[in-house]
Amino acid sequence: MIELMKVKSLLFGLTVALIFFISIPAGLIWLNSALSLSLYTFPIAKAMGFILSLTGFLLFFYCFNLFILLGKGTPVPIEPPNKLVSNKLYKYSRNPIYIGYFMMLFGIAFYFGHLLLFVYALLSIPGIHFYVVSFEEPVLLKRFGKSYTEYYKATPRWL
């Protein structure tokens, strides 16, 4: 049985996905066209974009499930994990779920071929990095203390 908080987390996650992976890209496609900015339509780029997006989505889905199964929570702030997730993919990177986000954003950019989508994907990297360093890591340190400090020292933030 799905708990009410899991449903809230799922709705929160879907709202974030709707904003960052559908609404903003759609607006940028419109703006790119309105400003007559660069557009390309290479079949290989579309294929690469599809593969990147699908891989990023699968990576996100896998990480989300790790939070549920191992962390006894979700990656969503309203239902955070009760246990530190530091194994599986999290043994190699502290943020594989965000790597999945980057893959999806670059996949969208390659698939649709609009210049502003590439700018958005590129700007997402420092934006998410800033969020992780200034908000997420201090919260995790406060929540998990010494175990997070050890994990932080042993595992790279990205790759």
At 12-33, the pLDDT tens digits run: 888 999 999 999 999 999 999 9
Averaged pLDDT score across all residues of the chain: 93
The pTM is what? 0.92
pLDDT digits (tens, 9 = 90+) for 37-67: 999 889 999 999 999 999 999 999 999 999 9
Residue identified by tokens 């997070």 is: 148
Euclidean distance between CA atoms 108 and 142, whole angstroms: 35
* 55 neighbors 103 (Cβ within 8 angstroms): yes
Euclidean distance between CA atoms 117 and 7, whole angstroms: 31
Q: How far is CA 33 from CA 27, 91, 99, 157, in A?
A: 10, 42, 28, 36
Euclidean distance between CA atoms 26 and 47, whole angstroms: 19
**Would you state the pLDDT for residue 11?**
86
Phi, psi (rounded to 5 degrees) for 114? -95, 135
Give the closest residue to 150 by CA, choosing from 65, 96, 72, 84.
84
Percent of the chain with pLDDT over 70: 96
Cα dihedral 49, 158, 141, 126 in deg (nearest 10):
-70
**Would you state the pLDDT for residue 67?**
92
Tokens of 2: 């799905």
